Chain A
């Protein structure tokens, strides 16, 4: 009893401490211990991120839950919705996309998860 308590309390204390810097450090820059090492803070990502929202760039693209083909760009292979930081959508269009994907899932135009056992 007395032995367990001191061991359990540091572990609970460590968890928020260890998980805290990770999301803060992930999207930010990694100055020293990155994969490049000597690359320094200048090159953070291996590829150029597309910054322009696809739907803002092309006005005639319409988000419609009835068209699963356009929505397929914004789900992963497992059927998850691609986050905004990867897809590059603006906030408003990401909201529309999310709404459309959820509607399409409801009427079985898009999968909810990757492998459904088809009987």
Chain B
């Protein structure tokens, strides 16, 4: 068993159900491959340092789990195939000494109220195009 941490970035304008489906899928992969999930943190919507897939912000998720190489391969395959995931990165932290992770990242209040309406419109467009 190795220790891993994975950060994946979701599209910012996803609905609750869409976010749930991605996180549930990740949990499902971990449980089917007999891994152990320790934390699943939502860092909230943050501004990206550079746009990814035309998106200037994204919802960060931090995943800390133990597992084997088959698990990480499957998890990354799932994340890669998912259009809702903008970016993911897994790091093997077996050799890194464990330290107290802060409970939740202090996130800057990035999302302004007037932008949400615009983002909803964009999300409708994208879902319409995909369907």
A contacts, CB < 8 Å to B: 62, 65-66, 68, 103, 105-113, 116-119
Contact = CB atoms under 8 A, between A and B. Distances in A.
Contact of A109 (B49, B51, B56, B88): B49
B89 A106 contact: yes
Given A66-B7, A112-B50, A116-B50, A107 B89 contact: yes
What 3 A-B pairs have minimum CB-CB distances, sorted nearest first?
A108-B48, A116-B50, A111-B49
A61 to B, nearest CB: 12
A118 B99 contact: no
Given A107-B7, A108-B9, A119 B51 contact: yes
A110 B52 CA distance: 13
Centre residue among A108, A116, A117 by max chain B CB count within 10 A:
A108
Given A118-B56, A119-B56, A105 B99 contact: no
Contacts of B58: 108
Contacts, number: 39
B49 A105 contact: yes
B3 interface: no
A110 B56 CA distance: 13
A107 B60 CA distance: 9
B78 interface: no
Contacts of B91: 65, 103
Contacts of A108: 9, 48-50, 52, 58, 87
Centre residue among B9, B49, B51, B87 by max chain A CB count within 10 A:
B49
Interface string B71-102: 00000000000000001110100000001000
A111 B49 CA distance: 5
Given A62-B99, A118-B56, A107 B87 contact: yes
